[in-house]
Amino acid sequence: MSDSVEELTAYHEAGHAWAALYVGARVQSVSIAPDDDDGPRRFGDTTILWNRRRFSQPEFAKKLSWVALAGPVAEMVYTGKPFHPGTVAEWRQDWNEAFAALEGIADVQRRLARLERTTIELYEAFRDDFHWSAISAIADHLLAHEILDEELLQEAVEPWIEDA
């Protein structure tokens, strides 16, 4: 992997990980060197554990879509190129996960509008120093270690979790 792809992947996965932690999920691991398996080829992977009983179905759907779009948005902020996440091939899986999470919104146009609003909200939030500092800390740790387990991730974001 070239440095630029590795860095993009680190920020992408850091976005997923930070968003998951921020909305109350546990992140079991985050990696920029995932195992090759039978799934689609990918450069990074974030394993998120949810306690579904903590959230109503609409609340859970919103959090799932937020976390799914957080990777592409972190890349957008990092590169300074705010693309639509539905139009970038590398982000298709994230976009599809966010779209599926909002299946409770039957009207496709309303669902797409919600995803676009979520993308804008994330973009604005991630440009804030608080969120961007946490995402950058995760990305830096990923670039140094390639894989963070739950304990290493918690150490990386400890200053921001206390303030969240």
User: Which residues contact residue 31 at a Cβ distance below 8 angstroms, ignoring those fewer than 6 apart?
Assistant: 13, 44, 45, 46, 142, 146, 147, 148
Total domain count, the chain: 1
Can you tell me the mean pLDDT for 146-159?
Answer: 95
| Position 1 confidence tier, pLDDT thresholds 50, 70, 90 | very low
Q: What's the pLDDT score for residue 2? A: 46
User: What DSSP character marks residue 36?
Assistant: P
Can you tell me the mean pLDDT for 144-148?
Answer: 95
Tracing tokens 């630029």 back to the chain, one arrives at 4
Domain that holds residue 70: 3-163
Can you tell me the mean pLDDT for 68-85?
Answer: 94
Give the residue among 74, 48, 75 at the shortest CA–CA distance from 63: 48
| Position 35 confidence tier, pLDDT thresholds 50, 70, 90 | low
Whole-number average pLDDT of the chain: 91
> Which residue intervals of the chain are DSSP H helices?
3-22, 57-79, 92-101, 108-126, 129-145, 150-163
Can you tell me the mean pLDDT for 65-93?
Answer: 94
The CATH number given to whatever domain includes residue 135 is: 1.20.58.760
| Position 116 confidence tier, pLDDT thresholds 50, 70, 90 | very high
Distance between CA 137 and CA 116 in Å, rounded? 27
Q: pLDDT: is 87 or 162 the higher one?
A: 87
